[in-house]
Structure 1
Amino acid sequence: MLGNAMRQVDPRRAEAGHWALILLVVQNSALVMIMHHSRNGPTEQGPRYLASTAVLLVEAIKLSASLVFATYDICRSHPSSSISNILLLLRRSVFAPDSWKLILPAALYTLQNSLVYAAISNLDAVTFQVTYQLKILTTVLFSILLLGTSISSRQWAALVLLTFGVALVQVAGPIGNEGWKDRLTSLIQGDLLLEALEAPASGAVKGLLAVLSAAVISGLTCVYFEKLVKDSLATVSLWTRNIQLSFFSLFPALFVGVLWQDGAAIARDGFFAGYKPIVWLTIALQAIGGLIVAVCIAYAGNVAKNFAASLSIVVSYAATALLFRTPMTWPATGGAATVIVAMYLYNGRQMSRTSLLPTSKDSRLSEKATNALFQVLPPSR
């Protein structure tokens, strides 16, 4: 029955999942390098741009693009309808009775961003980057709970390796901070935990709790959105869901980020203070990435999306070393190799091919789409 269901999946959706995963690798790789330069590069005069304004613009661009795609879908489904009828259908689909369900992931995304900000403010970069990679595992845990996915012990080992490899590349790579070795050793040996237990009111405790909470919320939000999209994909288009998510995300981005967090700085320097071409390129890449992620979640799933994002970190590490001639470190290179091994291990042919990537009990996707990411790697022998 499962094989028949997979064969009946629209091949266009499978192809969309295939290309979305590949595009996500390219987009994330470019974004890592460009965003790092935009946030850490030298500023000629005036202040650096505010992240809260960039977040608001990203959501506005995603909303506009999703509106265009949703309108195109309606025009294609109702070719003889007038413009007024098309707009009416669009309004009814966006503000449908179940649109309130997108309020939760929009609020969780905002909370996640706030927790990340708090964690970065109270932890050093190494501790934050290593701990935040737990979102890979929390995503799988919530996939099991909410989507009924099945993960073998071999796949769990691959996911743990993936988490470790990504963390190692990020903290030991050319864009990492100095002194990563001492901090990583301290983290592995549990010194940070002992420090937290001895000083429960310290900033380290607040940062650690914030980053752990952010990792949990990240997994919950991604899987909740995946379940919502897949459960209603037959009746509600992906772009309608994306409109709803971006629409509800605008309010916390505006009121919490722009007005409450950075209102004074914006009133003093202006909304677009510090904006340069590279900043606009960063915003554009983030918006494009949000649209690609939506396609990945709908047609491939969060686990495949996490593997694609992890592979992009390895690609950006290698590209940074080649383009900017930054030295490659042995630990970071070992982390990159660990990511590749984890992907190979997760995709091992010893297992049934129908279980290489988890599928929802209610909405099983094409095997071609869910395994698309691994087609860029050499096949198992």
Structure 2
Amino acid sequence: MAATKHKAPARSLEKMNSRVWLFSLLLTLQYGAQPLISKRCTRREVIVTSSVLTCEIAKVVCALIFMARDGSLKKVYKEWTLVGALTASGLPAAIYALQNSLLQISYKNLDSLTFSMLNQTKIIFTALFTYLILRQKQSIQQIGALFLLILAAVLLSFGEGSKKGSSASNSDQILFNGIIPVMVASVLSGLASTLCQWASQVKKHSSYLMTVEMSIVGSLCLLASTFKSPDGEAIAKHGLFYGWTPMTWIPVMSNALGGILVGLVTSYAGGVKKGFVIVSALLVTALLQFIFEGKPPSLYCLVALPLVVSSISIYQKYPYRVKRKEL
């Protein structure tokens, strides 16, 4: 009997570890390939709001299917309240909706590796907001890692904004339609991540439920913003799916599944495994860009890449530890 009791927890732990590795692998591939998929499968004529809105709807459908499969949908339906949903997910959802729109703009104006590395600066703002809102401190090693990441971001911004041989208009397009949107999106990502962490600690929401609530609220905010925006006018004139092809659905569905995988990896494995995923995804992006675009990374990217990889690795490896007082 004792042997049987020991085998059951061992099997359960082994099954959970298998899930962690599967979710991590899938998220690594999705995160690393997303910039290339979006650039190659989304035409420039596609209205940004339409792709973001469709992605949010796809997230809701996928999350509901997964909740129905694991049996939690009925329980959530009985316990769910509008006030609780708005409190936990309202503000983060609105922030993420704006962030996604900015990222869609940056995809089209930066090369894939530069975009991925600049997007990693969100860890800086996540650390800042977790300290301001949750009072979570950083270790000396983590602070050093953040400085490395800032250095890489500055290097990339300077390099991509002032390439030799580029026209002034092209440089301005890279700066204002590529670098600035992704940096603002990183700030918003840090704030939204911290708010989600606060909500999960207080409200104990599951990752699937947070996905559904945030996607619905974010979609409503996005629809409200289209009434007086160029995207809204374009949708009214040409229709929601203007410029879409069957290939456009590939990055939309990939992004939707990636959003669900982020919640699952964080729920099952925590921040350390997520950091491993981010580092691995950067390498996947660099490899795929070389294979499919036929050009090696620029000198600025080659210098910044080890800085980004090192900073994220150090940040995850040396968390802040509270010193015990000696009696």
| Partners of 1:294 and 1:331 in 2: CA distance | 32
| Partners of 1:168 and 1:209 in 2: CA distance | 14
Q: 1:251 to 1:268 in 2, by over 3 A?
A: same
Match of 1:99 in 2: 85
Q: Does 1:295 align with 2:295?
A: no
Indicate the larger mover: 259-268 or 210-219.
Answer: 210-219
| Partners of 2:18 and 2:146 in 1: CA distance | 25
Asked whether the 8 Å contact 1:226–1:301 carries over to 2, the reply is no
Out of 320, 332, 335, the residue aligned to residue 304 of structure 2 is: 335
Q: Does 1:154 align with 2:125?
A: no
Match of 2:46 in 1: 49
Match of 1:250 in 2: 219
Percent identical? 24
Out of 17, 33, 36, the residue aligned to residue 33 of structure 1 is: 36
Identify unmatched segments of 5+ residues in structure 1. Answer: 1-6, 41-46, 76-85, 184-191, 193-203, 349-355, 360-381
TM-score (norm 2): 0.73
Alpha-carbon deviations, 1:88-143, whole Å to 9, x = none? x44334436411221111122234456778x97xxx969x9687654221101222
Asked whether the 8 Å contact 1:74–1:90 carries over to 2, the reply is no
Q: Does 1:58 align with 2:52?
A: no
Identify unmatched segments of 5+ residues in structure 2. Answer: 1-8, 167-171, 322-327
Match of 2:163 in 1: 180
| Partners of 2:103 and 2:252 in 1: CA distance | 19
Match of 1:217 in 2: 188
Out of 103, 107, 122, the residue aligned to residue 135 of structure 1 is: 122
Give the secondary structure class of the aligned counterpart of 1:328: coil
Give the secondary structure class of the aligned counterpart of 1:48: coil
Q: 1:65 to 1:171 in 2, by over 3 A?
A: farther
TM-score (norm 1): 0.64
Superposed displacement of residue 332, structure 1: 1.6
Alpha-carbon deviations, 1:24-53, whole Å to 9, x = none? 22101111111122356xxxxxx7111110
Which amino acid is the alignment partner of residue 36 of structure 1?
K
Match of 2:314 in 1: 345
Match of 1:309 in 2: 278
Asked whether the 8 Å contact 1:49–1:275 carries over to 2, the reply is yes
Alpha-carbon deviations, 1:169-198, whole Å to 9, x = none? 6886xxxx6843699xxxxxxxx9xxxxxx
Which amino acid is the alignment partner of residue 25 of structure 2?
I
Which amino acid is the alignment partner of residue 137 of structure 1?
I
| Partners of 1:134 and 1:71 in 2: CA distance | 36
Q: 1:294 to 1:171 in 2, by over 3 A?
A: farther
Which amino acid is the alignment partner of residue 145 of structure 2?
A
Q: 1:305 to 1:269 in 2, by over 3 A?
A: same
Indicate the larger mover: 219-228 or 14-23.
Answer: 14-23
Q: For the aligned residues, what is the CA RMSD?
A: 4.1
Match of 1:227 in 2: 198
Give the secondary structure class of the aligned counterpart of 2:68: helix
Asked whether the 8 Å contact 1:99–1:244 carries over to 2, the reply is yes
Match of 2:243 in 1: 274
Alpha-carbon deviations, 1:254-274, whole Å to 9, x = none? 232488442322232222221
Alpha-carbon deviations, 1:321-347, whole Å to 9, x = none? 133321333332222222333345346
Q: Does 1:262 align with 2:226?
A: no
Asked whether the 8 Å contact 2:60–2:212 carries over to 1, the reply is yes
